[in-house]
Amino acid sequence: MALAAIFDCEGPRLNDEERAYFRDVDPWGFIVFARHCESVDELRAHCEELRECVGRENAPILIDQEGGRVARMKPPAFPAHPAPAAFGELYRLDPGKARKASRLNGYLLGRIVSDCGVNVNCIPMLDVPQPDADQNVIGDRAYAKHQDIIVELARAAADGLIEGGALPVIKHMPGHGRALCDSHHDLPNVCVGADALSDIDYAPFKAMNDIAMGMTAHVVYEALDAERPATLSPIVINDIIRGEIGFGGLLMTDDLKMNALSGDIESRVRDSLSAGCDIALCCNFSMDDKKAALKGASAMTDVAEKRAARALVGLKNIDRTDTADAYEKLRGLLKPVIA
């Protein structure tokens, strides 16, 4: 069985030590960042060499390509896409056009990543932003401020992404929209009661619990588990994500290098898997970090393997036609909200 981990490499391309390490430990998948996306040819070659390491043609390779400020593939090598909030703005004017635009945008995001060999894009984000929340972590990354609109636009985006040849990941369960600080830098504590969380924060995840992959939040929900962030909490994962939300797909952590988490790399990996996560997402790890992660990691469980297999079945072989007309159509749909 594959190792219950997702890794990246430190430089634009694999070095010999990383290549040997990946061949030895056989991680379930990989993730790429801007340094791997200098051009179509470079990214495609990098994806090929990652898959060669593990000997799996469809080994998952992830990216965060949301549009707006969260985009690893950047101009001029790749086309720019709007932030998710643009579709929420369009929804206020014309819900039908907004759904069409979100689906088309999802398709085009699927195309630009899958054309290069990336087969998982970590969208859509289903967090419901609250007025006093930290804008640096959510802000215009959210589709809208109301959960029902978020679901409509996110569902359209996910459907489009699959049509474009990539798989979606819903994030950040059970909801990051109330965080008062950025979990990249600090640990957010959410103090609201369980009823409010259930009515608002969980709602988009419940509505889209059929999506095959999801990601946790590095957030403490004091009404649920005052001691541990969701990523490390068996209570949140089993009772809320698996239980109340009803998510049955492959559950990965958010980036375990983020400063919201305390403890060393080994314990972060071990504790997240022990809590019930299927996969540890190990981003921007040095080689020493990767070796430490291995001490805390384990082979994927039988249940996780089955969830992963169900997810990958969703990958489509698509007709890779030219996308120029689709981009023109998207620009036309978004014209009322984007100059």
Residue 121's DSSP bridge partners are 63, 168
Question: Nearest Cα to 3, choosing from 86, 74, 60, 69?
Answer: 60
- Which three-class secondary structure string do you get for 211-252? CCEEEECCCEECCCCCCCCHHHCHHHHHHHHHHHCCCCCEEE
Give yes or no for residue 182 having a pLDDT over 90.
Answer: no
The active-site residue, picked from 254, 271, 278, 289, is 254
Share of the chain above pLDDT 90, in %: 94
Residue 148 designated active-site? no
At 110, the pLDDT band (50, 70, 90 cuts) reads: very high
Q: Give the pLDDT of residue 68.
A: 97
Whether 186 and 259 have beta carbons less than 8 Å apart is answered as yes
Residue 322 designated active-site? no
Residue 216's DSSP bridge partners are 173
CB atoms within 10 A of CB 148: 11
Domains of the chain: 3-334 (3.20.20.300)
CB atoms within 10 A of CB 3: 22
Mean pLDDT (the chain) is 96
- For the chain, first and last CA: distance in Å? 50
The string of pLDDT tens digits covering residues 304-333 is 999 999 999 999 999 999 999 999 999 999
The string of pLDDT tens digits covering residues 282-310 is 999 999 999 999 999 999 999 999 999 99
Kindly give, in sequence order, each residue whose CB lies less than 8 Å from that of residue 210, ignoring residues fewer than 6 positions away.
Answer: 249
